[in-house]
Structure 1
Amino acid sequence: MAKCVQNSLSDQVYTMLKEQILSGQLEGGMKIPEEALAEQFGVSRTPIREAIRRLSEYGLVTIKPRSHAIVSVISPDEAMDIARVRVSLEQLAIDSITEQAYNEHVKELSRYAADCQYAMGIGDRATVFEQDSLFHLALIKASNNSALISICERLDAKIQQLRIAQNLPEDELAYYLHQHSKIMNLLKNGEKEACKQLLYEHITHDLTSHVTERNHA
């Protein structure tokens, strides 16, 4: 029973830290406050460190050997590299999506797009990022390309970092979230080249300036 309680606490800390990182409350380079978290939850550091280890495996946290853990930092060059790879992979997925496959996934895509809008409306930036990620993974899955799906799932943590690094103001983030429905409409109408062009803008928007501004803030 004690182990289950410890695992539950670790899950709680993991979820809380992940939300704080994705929402920008904990910024890149900031130290993870193990002692404060242990005091907050009234536990030893064991479940805290387990949560931090999981976040490290996910790619959001960097553990300094024999020292402490920090929120992972992404450089402008790395951010651009991730964006380019993501564009190529998602454009490849667009080419592979048939009318039948789109119809099979349209409800799922619509749900994630709507969830993004709802989370944006209540100011829950962490959930916005998570639902946006699920929307794009659903888009990839509609390609029915198992290798492509596997690659994109493994790249998800880096993509989450890219979203954080872009650090878009609320109005800009809302603008790009509205593009989900436009992407779906272009796919529905078979306008794949226009869809791929919109996807390029959707992913790379003002990337370098946003990342540079954040890293020098």
Structure 2
Amino acid sequence: MSLDRPVARRLLSDEVFDRLRDSIVRGELVPGEKVKDGELAERLGLSRTPVREALARLADIGLVEAKPGVYTRITTLDRRDVENTLAVLRSLDQLAVEAAVPVMTERDLVCMREANRDFARAVAAGDTAAALAADDRFHAVPVAAAGNPVLSRIVEQLHPQIHRILHREFSTLLGGRDTIEHHGRLIEACAGGDARAAADLSGRHWLELGGHINELFDTDRFAEAVSG
């Protein structure tokens, strides 16, 4: 597991943060699992300070929760929290797309097309990690083109909360042709300069994703995580 590799000291808490976040997203650290800064520090070959700093940052973005003197643990999957996160991400993505379309370059469109091809190849190969990475690259293009660093920062903070569900249930939520076709329609709208249509497409995609996630909660797909 990636947590077991020694960390270069120049990276310290940033590297610890990245590794812990990725381990949570991939499900290596499961919802409800208790973590101890001393044990993590020993595994990473560091003092407790950068580990504590990383855990505090993870708590800020909702991946870790702590009760002082009792526990520090990976947050459970809570339907209301997920719904709230999806609502914010939907609004931010629509805002980014609408702002980005009028200023997008041909290079931006090329990057989106390349990312969608990579996504399709990863889906065909059953490579969840590669598919999610390609999906991230796809959606990062309009976010970057929008030129709003505040928006970019908030999106980056919220994505991991949804990514750990996507990683776990990829075939159900993103694994079909629907997402590839949605990407294609979004590219066409962006290329045509129709900011409103592109934003509407983005919003509908987030709503569909939220509906699928709610169905998973309805069928207790996350029951073992919540009870952890």
Q: Distance in 2 between matches of 1:117 and 1:9?
A: 36
Cα RMSD after superposing both structures: 3.4
Q: Distance in 2 between matches of 1:150 and 1:57?
A: 16
* Residues 74 and 162, structure 1, Cα contact 8 Å, conserved in 2: no
Q: Distance in 2 between matches of 1:63 and 1:129?
A: 29
Q: Distance in 1 between matches of 2:28 and 2:199?
A: 33
Q: Say whether residues 1:65 and 2:52 are aligned partners.
A: no
Question: Normalized against structure 2, the TM-score is what?
Answer: 0.69
Tell me the residue number matched to 2:26. 23
Q: Which amino acid aligns with 2:92?
A: L
Q: Say whether residues 1:45 and 2:45 are aligned partners.
A: no
Structure 1 residue 119 displacement after superposition: 6.1
Q: Which amino acid aligns with 2:53?
A: E
Q: Say whether residues 1:85 and 2:92 are aligned partners.
A: no
Note the residue ranges of structure 1 that are not aligned, 5 or more in a row. none
Q: Say whether residues 1:156 and 2:156 are aligned partners.
A: yes
Quickly say closer, same or farther: Cα 1:171–1:75, change in 2 above 3 A.
closer
Q: Which amino acid aligns with 1:173?
A: L
Structure 1 residue 76 displacement after superposition: 1.3
* Residues 7 and 47, structure 1, Cα contact 8 Å, conserved in 2: no
Q: Say whether residues 1:173 and 2:174 are aligned partners.
A: yes
Tell me the residue number matched to 2:4. none
Identity of aligned residues (%): 23
* Residues 60 and 157, structure 1, Cα contact 8 Å, conserved in 2: no
Question: Normalized against structure 1, the TM-score is what?
Answer: 0.72
* Residues 101 and 142, structure 2, Cα contact 8 Å, conserved in 1: no
Give the SS at the match of 1:174. Answer: coil
Structure 1 residue 7 displacement after superposition: 4.6
Tell me the residue number matched to 2:106. 103
Note the residue ranges of structure 2 that are not aligned, 5 or more in a row. 1-6
* Residues 31 and 74, structure 2, Cα contact 8 Å, conserved in 1: yes
Tell me the residue number matched to 1:186. 189
Structure 1 residue 21 displacement after superposition: 0.8
Q: Distance in 2 between matches of 1:63 and 1:155?
A: 23
Q: Distance in 2 between matches of 1:28 and 1:214?
A: 13
* Residues 59 and 72, structure 1, Cα contact 8 Å, conserved in 2: yes
Tell me the residue number matched to 1:210. 216
Aligned residues: 210
Q: Which amino acid aligns with 2:112?
A: L
Structure 1 residue 52 displacement after superposition: 2.0
Give the counterpart of 1:140 among 143, 156, 160: 143
Q: Distance in 2 between matches of 1:181 and 1:210?
A: 26
